[in-house]
Chains A and B, each alone.
Chain A
Amino acid sequence: MQGTGAVFKREFQGYFATPVAYVFICIFLFCTGIFTFYVGNFFARGQADLKAFFTFHPWLYLFLIPAISMRLWAEERKSGTIELLMSLPVSLAGVVLGKFLAAWLFTGVALVLTFPMWITVAYLGDPDHGVILAGYIGSFFMAGGYLAIGACMSALTRNQVIAFVLSVVVCFLFTVSGAPIVLDFFAGWAPQILVEAIASFSFLRHFNAITEGVIDLRDVVFFVSLIALWLFANAIAVEMRKAG
């Protein structure tokens, strides 16, 4: 698509041109460490796997991903560079995709840098590497889902703080929609099919399914179509709000 490559390159390099990347990666690694070893009782569990590590990913992403995505469009609108960008011979879809892919790859880099965890379990025991790999893949797709939501929210406002808050709220809804407490609330009165529908939108449910070690195509399709849908909404939001 017209402009995807150029925008991708600019955005991706942009993360490393400012302290943003380093701060984000440090916080991400620090938090995954804390959660895995202290909150998740990695050692006490006495199991050679990364369950304790992956369990906290949705909750970490809930706050860290909106911090990455909040500037994607809000900043362009605030500084007026969106006018420059959209008067280049690039397609809107190309720019939306380029920005998203750069942010996604960046979270991928942060995720890859957690590899010492993997080395640790491999050193301490005899983990099922297939399950761990599935966990990483699932986590990466889930990060894409959160990012696509955040990108769309960022296009709705020129204020990054508002974009952040909106993203956290929407991401939260998509995270907990499968949690027992939410489903119990609906199960009392709503038709079963609605409860099922709500649950099926849950990031937790699809992510947990993948971290069990089985990459079901349906879970991957869920995240990919969710990303596509939110990016489509992203493009519409940019188109509608760019002049204001």
Chain B
Amino acid sequence: MSLLEIRGLSKRFGPITAVDNVSFKVDQGEVLGFLGPNGAGKSTTMKMIAGFISPSAGGVSVLGEDVAEAPLKTKAAIGYLPEGAPTYPDMTPRGFLEFVADARGLKGPERKARIDYAVEHVDIGHVLDQSIDTLSKGYKRRVGLAQAILHDPPVLILDEPTDGLDPNQKHEVRELIRRMAPGKAIVISTHILEEVEAVCTRAIVIARGRLLAEGHPVEGGWQLGEHFAEPGRLDAVFRAITMGAPSSAQEAA
């Protein structure tokens, strides 16, 4: 059984079809790169997986449970970093993580152990009691990541985890993802293709809500749909796939 399974997922906002019949699975140990240009429907798909918005059609199951039928169960199994890593600016990272731990029902020594674990993993020990407001962008992102891994979830959904970070910070976040990968099913959305080569074990490409190609590393590069890309050359392949995509969603709009 796949840890995460998406079946025929669609989401319409009025006349806009943001996500159009998307299906994929993610198994334990996989880091799936969810690629697509801006407005492709990546965030919308992730919001439906996280149970924040409900699909217009199709469904999501997490560890075999349906998100629509057992939302509390699936939410408990997911760690989610929303786009832009929102956090409460007036809180300290410690207060924020304690809140998330409480909301996730963690108690006593386990609560403390899980917070310590998350703090150590994203290395925010020295800013724990500083208001989040005053932290740099990189540290705010780390606080968001700490919240997502706090309960050691089997499924991690990270929406543009490295967006807006400097190269060193990007490197650190990727290291973190790689470290956590073995026991989990991880989905990261991005439009940065070097990221795919750096951390992903598999990738899917969507544009205008539609799934266009699936890819994985092969001998000497990446195979993305029908295209082969040498290391560092995924950009050209990505352009070929997404620019040549049928624009049905926009015509419908």
| Residues of chain B from 133 to 174 with CB closer than 8 A to chain A in the complex | 147
Distance of A158 from chain B, by nearest CB (Å)? 13
User: Which of these, A83, A88, A242, contacts B103 with CB under 8 Å?
Assistant: A88
- Looking at B49-57, B186-194, B196-204, the stretch in contact with chain A turns out to be B49-57
Determine if B88 and A2 form an interchain contact, defined as CB atoms under 8 angstroms apart. no
- Residue in B53, B90, B100, B102 whose Cβ sees the most chain A Cβ within 10 Å: B102
Distance of B60 from chain A, by nearest CB (Å)? 13
Determine if A83 and B105 form an interchain contact, defined as CB atoms under 8 angstroms apart. no
How many A-B pairs have beta carbons closer than 8 Å: the answer is: 73
Determine if B90 and A18 form an interchain contact, defined as CB atoms under 8 angstroms apart. yes
Distance of B71 from chain A, by nearest CB (Å)? 8
Question: Provided the pairs A84-B147, A87-B80, A87-B82 are in contact, do residues A17 and B91 lie with their beta carbons within 8 angstroms?
Answer: yes
Determine if B105 and A89 form an interchain contact, defined as CB atoms under 8 angstroms apart. yes
Distance of A124 from chain B, by nearest CB (Å)? 42
- Residue in B52, B84, B103 whose Cβ sees the most chain A Cβ within 10 Å: B103
Q: B61-86, CB under 8 A of A: which get 1 and which 0?
A: 00000000001110110101011101
Chain B residue numbers with a CB within 8 Å of A6 are 99, 102-103
Count A-side interface residues using an 8 Å CB cutoff: 25
Question: Provided the pairs A14-B91, A89-B75, A89-B104 are in contact, do residues A79 and B52 lie with their beta carbons within 8 angstroms?
Answer: no
- Residue in A3, A18, A84 whose Cβ sees the most chain B Cβ within 10 Å: A84
Interface residues on B, range: 20 to 34
Chain A residue numbers with a CB within 8 Å of B95 are 10, 13, 17
Distance of A73 from chain B, by nearest CB (Å)? 14
| Residues of chain B from 91 to 118 with CB closer than 8 A to chain A in the complex | 91, 95, 99-100, 102-105
User: Which of these, A7, A9, A87, contacts B75 with CB under 8 Å?
Assistant: A87
| Separation of A242 and B84 alpha carbons in the complex (Å) | 17
Closest A residue to B131 by CB, please name it: A17
Distance of B101 from chain A, by nearest CB (Å)? 8
Chain A residue numbers with a CB within 8 Å of B91 are 10, 14, 17
Determine if A83 and B86 form an interchain contact, defined as CB atoms under 8 angstroms apart. yes
Any A CB within 8 A of the CB of B47: yes
Closest A residue to B53 by CB, please name it: A243
Any A CB within 8 A of the CB of B89: yes
Any B CB within 8 A of the CB of A47: no
User: Which of these, B73, B75, B84, contacts A80 with CB under 8 Å?
Assistant: B84
Determine if B52 and A87 form an interchain contact, defined as CB atoms under 8 angstroms apart. yes
Determine if B102 and A83 form an interchain contact, defined as CB atoms under 8 angstroms apart. no
Closest A residue to B80 by CB, please name it: A87
Question: Provided the pairs A17-B90, A86-B52, A243-B53 are in contact, do residues A80 and B102 lie with their beta carbons within 8 angstroms?
Answer: no
**A-B residue pairs in contact (CB < 8 Å), sample of 24:** A3-B103, A5-B102, A6-B102, A6-B103, A9-B99, A9-B102, A10-B88, A10-B91, A10-B95, A10-B102, A14-B88, A80-B84, A80-B86, A81-B86, A83-B82, A84-B87, A84-B147, A87-B52, A87-B78, A87-B80, A88-B75, A89-B71, A89-B105, A90-B103
